[in-house]
Amino acid sequence: MRTAIVLLTALLWAPGFYQVLAFPTGTAKPLEARSTVGNTKSNPIQAEIEIRGEDALTYDVDCWAMLCKGKPAIMQKTDTKAADKHRQVKNGSAAKKQPFVHRAKYGIKSSPPTSTWANNQGWVSAEEFPFASTVDGGAGAILVGVTLNSQEEQKNSLHSFYSKNKIQSYNATAKGSDRSWFEITGFKVTPGKTAIIGPYCKAFNAKDKGNLCSASTKVVGDWGFDVAEYAYVYNHQTKTFDYVGK
């Protein structure tokens, strides 16, 4: 017992003991709570998109838009109803007008030649970025004509991206944003597939666009043309498709 008292006394008089027990001073900084991953734009779910095959074309459109036109890599997923509205004319991208099917009608430049890479299919389907499935989609989205096959493959790969990373749709009614924010960190080939990543997506992966965005630099993918040379945006005031280009 005497030994215990001696030890306690020594501890109480030990240098720094009272500083340890003291309450925090007024100058101490409070700890900031970090949001749950995916719930805010500042803390998005980060993941790569896997390319299957012909979707390399559609994603190269997207990579060019992010690299050279300032379109966001961080986006918020929306629901199916909102996504459909984003493709419509009233407040959307006007992809529903099928501008690359009716090029002459809408003043769209002639289609690039078909290629064996795309099984000689026409570039008739409108790829749009930001994705229609995101809050940023719709009005102001960049449109480029691609093949129907490339769009179908992208539909599957994007669905897989959302599902694999448990990315949820933003609930506009309840204002719920749980796990709805995500960031595209890069692109890779799906295991078992022989797809080749396009030139703009390779630059996106390397985080080095170099001179790819220059109007004097031609960046041609395996499909045979530079996607930047065939880009348009719907103008809601003039009700026409404005050429974007490089």
Q: CB under 8 Å to 83, separation ≥6 — which residues?
A: 132, 133, 137
Q: How far apart are CA 57 and CA 53, in angstroms?
A: 9
The predicted model gives 102-113 an average pLDDT of: 96
Flag whether 29 is in a domain: no
* Structural domain harbouring 135: 36-243
Q: pTM of this prediction? A: 0.85
Q: How far apart are CA 68 and CA 204, in angstroms?
A: 10
Q: How far apart are CA 92 and CA 86, in angstroms?
A: 4
Instruction: Identify which of 180, 186, 177 has the alpha carbon closest to the alpha carbon of residue 165.
Output: 180
Q: CB under 8 Å to 105, separation ≥6 — which residues?
A: none
What pLDDT, on the 0 to 100 scale, is given for residue 208?
96
Flag whether 128 is in a domain: yes
- The per-residue pLDDT for range 45-61, each reduced to its tens digit, is 999 999 999 999 999 99
Q: CB under 8 Å to 154, separation ≥6 — which residues?
A: 55, 58, 59, 127
**Tokens representing residue 177 in the block:** 């944003």
- The per-residue pLDDT for range 121-156, each reduced to its tens digit, is 999 999 999 999 999 999 999 999 999 999 999 999
Flag whether 8 is in a domain: no
Flag whether 69 is in a domain: yes
Residue % of the chain over a pLDDT of 70: 86
What pLDDT, on the 0 to 100 scale, is given for residue 33?
53
pLDDT band at 2 (very low <50, low <70, confident <90, very high): very low
Q: How far apart are CA 83 and CA 95, in angstroms?
A: 12
Query: In the chain, how many domains are there?
Result: 1
